[in-house]
Structure 1
Amino acid sequence: MSSFTRTQCFSLATLLLLLTTNLHIADAQIGVCYGMMGNNLPSANEVVALYKSNNIRRMRLYDPNQAALQALRDSGIELILGVPNSDLQSLATNADNARNWVQRNVLNFWPSVRIKYIAVGNEVSPVGGAPTQWMAQYVLPATQNIYQAIRAQGLHDQIKVTTAIDTTLIGNSYPPSQGSFRSDVRSYLDPFIGYLVYAGAPLLVNVYPYFSHIGNPRDVSLSYALFTSPNIVAQDGQYGYQNLFDAMLDAVHAAIDNTKIGYVEVVVSESGWPSDGGSATSYDNARIYLDNLIRHVGRGTPRRPNKPTETYIFAMFDEN
């Protein structure tokens, strides 16, 4: 979500609903992010009804909004429940705070709210003068404290506790098989990957071909980013890449594998294309990207063939 402290407009609910209605979204591993940083949004009850009427079976929520959690009771919608970055320090430094957080936001709603993942922080980066840099030290201990509170209730097999990163933590992404994390984030990420292996939890990653395209339009064509390239664009040994989404995702898979710590699944916790406000932004490009993304993620990637990629579209509503 913090990717969008930019000017682009990243959502068109009508477009999304048009696509999801046509494509039986439940078959396609697709969820939709429910961000609330906007004006005149519908009530939580109306939003949950919107998801249900359009057969959207997964939601990402960025904080434990109590009205949204109440509205999700008995909806059957699977949930990524976010821990805001602003809560990381208090949850990391005091296990009682984590237990209280779990009681208030998880146990009070479980199992009528189908919480699948708890995302402890979003796009926290330990480097580069990032505004979240000071928070990075708290991500793993906060995650472990939440995990222990979940485990104490015997729910650690049903509710997986993790974090969401962005792809700026990848140092090398081409070719995808040589994907690796930046050397200056390894001391942050390696222990977290070790925790994920132990807990059997996936890593959540926000994946945006849009930003790769506008950052280097000469080498990253629009068709490659929009899934519309007619041919393979990048050949990487036995793997051929016809779209940038697969290449970015497989670079993450390879970066995890190349740490040699252990196998970790990847869930795409955000992806989308802006409809307005910047280079290569249009309603048509947003429609083409989302349409192709929804159709594509059930197929897996060259590195993980036939393994559907659980993916969450950003976002149901335009943010301010």
Structure 2
Amino acid sequence: MKEFAYQRATAVHDALSAVAADTGARYLGGGTNLVDLMKNGVEEPTRLVDVRRLPLDGVRDAPDGGLVIGATTTNSDAAAHPEVRRRFPALSQAVLAGASGQLRNMATVGGNLLQRTRCGYFTDLSRPCNKRVPGSGCAAITGAHHNHAVLGHSEHCAATHPSDMAVALAAFDAVVRYQTLDGAGEIPLSRFYPPVGDRPDRETALPPGALITAVVLPGAAVSPRSRYRKVRERASYAFATVSVAAALDIHDGIVTHARIALGGVASHPWRAEAAEAGLRGTRPTAERLRICAEEALSDAKPLRDNAYKVTLARNLIQAVLSELTGTEMDR
């Protein structure tokens, strides 16, 4: 690890000014991703600006009936908050599935959204990686890629986004608030992660130097009928092979609103909009759920060794929707 300066910010403006004055500076929250990458030599910041002491933590009610979760709130506190568990249970379930208790106690909500989209080649400095060194190539495309993306990838990168929390937030139409020296702004999570394209090193739509201040869950997305399910290669702390966050509103046996987001299949949380549209206004029979699951993966383009993810994702979507609707799956 190379030498770096450390600075503890006591005000948001101080943090923004410190990063603006040093092009190699990075914000430090819990450090559960950044510090690991520094140890591997992938990240080499010249300065760490610690934002944990800023008054940006806590969960509070939003005027529209939703919730505002401060950026420095720990993952553990967000998952355990009674209003998160009551109004957005899939979010609590996703956070608890995301990592070990020790990591959840350190990691922050803002930092979770900013963790690097990565695969094993990203941390292997001996192999090409367009995310680490733009233009160097993607070793995963022809290499080991059984756990890589099947949706939205390109020849330049097929890594999947690691956040469980972000998948649930995507299903709830969350909005990311941020601050810059020029003022405050916000980005819907649906636009927060840009497409891979030919610049996979560009991972968010945040302006340069921006500091995430909060995540907003809108009142219109409140859905006690929601679930998060994750399939992984081992029972303990591991990234998702495939995950599903789903939230439904059902009245008189008819689905009036549906939100479905997938994890482990793309470079960002993937909204299954075709499946949502196919479910709205229908009675959730086993056949209807099967068709929706098929539609969710209709654009999948698996690589040589990860076509199994398409089948796995379809089955998981159908299982989650069956649980939410009380519909028995076809055998």
State the TM-score, normalized to the length of structure 1.
Answer: 0.26
Which structure carries more helix by proportion? 1
Q: Which has the higher contact order (CA 8 A, sep 6+)?
A: 1
Compare CA radii of gyration and give the structure with the larger one.
2
State the TM-score, normalized to the length of structure 2.
Answer: 0.25
